[in-house]
Chain A
């Protein structure tokens, strides 16, 4: 294993430490998407009966959204933790390491990829026990991969903000950003039922492709035609925010 990989693994280990060693610290983040799924299906469950609604069961429709939201929250939390590390001086220690800045960023972001599987797993366990249809192992594996990618993109986005503002007070910006990115997609109603301007935004929003990628298996079958746009969208998001975050790290101390 090369030095870069060891560095990433070591930093990832520290990121995971926080959920293991802060008693109860992980609970709100783990529960939120599940509560959200339950609340939303109770309030809007009847919507699935509308003509043109692509799913028979609103819960089946909304579970993938919960998975994405868990990833978004986890990414934002990574940025908040980084802002705290900047405030407390730990980040200086990171910057003093001789490793390339992109490797350090990967170390910070990698833990978000793993952590986002926690709320998703909890959500899925509850959802399946409530009767949501089993999408198949392949679809779940693809879903896991895609939300890990989204968590990475969200973590990079939140990192950019953390490096810019250098305070945990920027937390709302990090959270709202990821929340809005998921809101303006086909998350809550199928494309056909969106008003024209919302549909236009959803079509432009790369997160829509990620969501439709995760929905495969829950609704319809897994197809390459639905999968590649999700992968391209994620590559673009991670590439863009990753580059901005590395740039932010290089510009520290100016």
Chain B
């Protein structure tokens, strides 16, 4: 006998968006977010994160496929969707001429909060995001982090069932980032479903109950962060060799201990090992015997970047890898 699962907060089937004169920014994605979970949508610049979010929040019409948010179709029942969602877009749009409390009260009115409670509700949320001191100041004088927090407070004014956050911590300093993470966790604990996009591995790892990894408009992997990392492999050892070392020789030696794998930024060799730390000593001894000098070494557990690498052949973070070309010739 089949039992119906918990009602999905977001259900997306074959969602697609093509822009005029451009390739598909979102090329047919499927995803499901359960009520009450934090779903991380991880991808590099231009992957299609914002385009997806804008379709899910009714700002952009899909050119194909279907999406239900809180049980309503974004294309045919946009007003029902809007009543149930809170949205903080990538660029927090705030009127610089208005004060924090004026803005949040305007937002409250736009979302039909009863006039008697507008002021109290606004003050409560301003306090929640730690802006009480600045509430009477014009938003034009706020820092980037303060704007993000005000934007979040505004998104929460009508106690939405589903909260969309598009890159909520991009450009924030580490402290502000941690504060925001805390807030997201608190919302999750209160039962809010959170759909959060990010290009930061750590953020996805720390915050998301489940992840979708998007690259070039397609979802290339989904699962819990732990499952995704376990799927791509075992621990590996990254090596940086001393200047002038014979790379070919070093490669011969290390591949006796495990498979060589694509190298991460800034190192020469990377090798998958079965046992972790216990494998290090024999490898070093063998390299020493072969007169290969090691400048640095690091034992690394699989990360979401490895997942991304395994699925797309590219790294998510960091751009150039000065050693990868030399190493690539060897593999």
Minimal beta-carbon separation of A167 from chain B (angstroms): 16
Q: What A residues does B94 contact at CB under 8 A?
A: 90
A97 touches B110 (CB 8 A): yes
Q: What A residues does B111 contact at CB under 8 A?
A: 97-98
Q: How many A-B residue pairs have CB under 8 A?
A: 67
Q: What B residues does A89 contact at CB under 8 A?
A: 89, 91-93
The number of residues on chain B lying at the interface, defined by a beta carbon within 8 Å of a beta carbon of chain A, is: 29
Known: A96-B82, A253-B59. A14 touches B110 (CB 8 A): no
The A14-40 residues at the B interface (CB cut-off 8 A) are 14, 17-18, 21-22
Does chain B have a CB within 8 A of A201?
A: no
Interface string of B29-69 (1 = CB under 8 A from A): 00000000000000000000000001001111100000000
What's the Cα separation between A90 and B94 when bound, in Å? Answer: 6
Interface string of A79-110 (1 = CB under 8 A from B): 00000000011111111111110000000000
B95 touches A14 (CB 8 A): yes
Please, which residue of chain A has its CB at the minimum distance from the CB of B92? Answer: A89
Interface string of B60-103 (1 = CB under 8 A from A): 11000000000000000001001101010101111101100000
Please, which residue of chain A has its CB at the minimum distance from the CB of B81? Answer: A98
Does chain A have a CB within 8 A of B115?
A: yes
What's the Cα separation between A86 and B105 when bound, in Å? Answer: 21
Q: What A residues does B95 contact at CB under 8 A?
A: 14, 17, 90
The A211-254 residues at the B interface (CB cut-off 8 A) are 252-254
18 contacts between A and B (CB under 8 A): A10-B105, A13-B106, A14-B98, A17-B95, A89-B93, A90-B95, A91-B93, A92-B59, A92-B93, A93-B154, A95-B58, A96-B58, A96-B82, A98-B79, A98-B83, A99-B112, A100-B79, A253-B58
Interface residues of A (CB under 8 A from B): 1, 3, 6-7, 10-11, 13-14, 17-18, 21-22, 88-100, 252-254
Interface residues of B (CB under 8 A from A): 54, 57-61, 79, 82-83, 85, 87, 89, 91-95, 97-98, 105-107, 109-112, 115, 138, 154
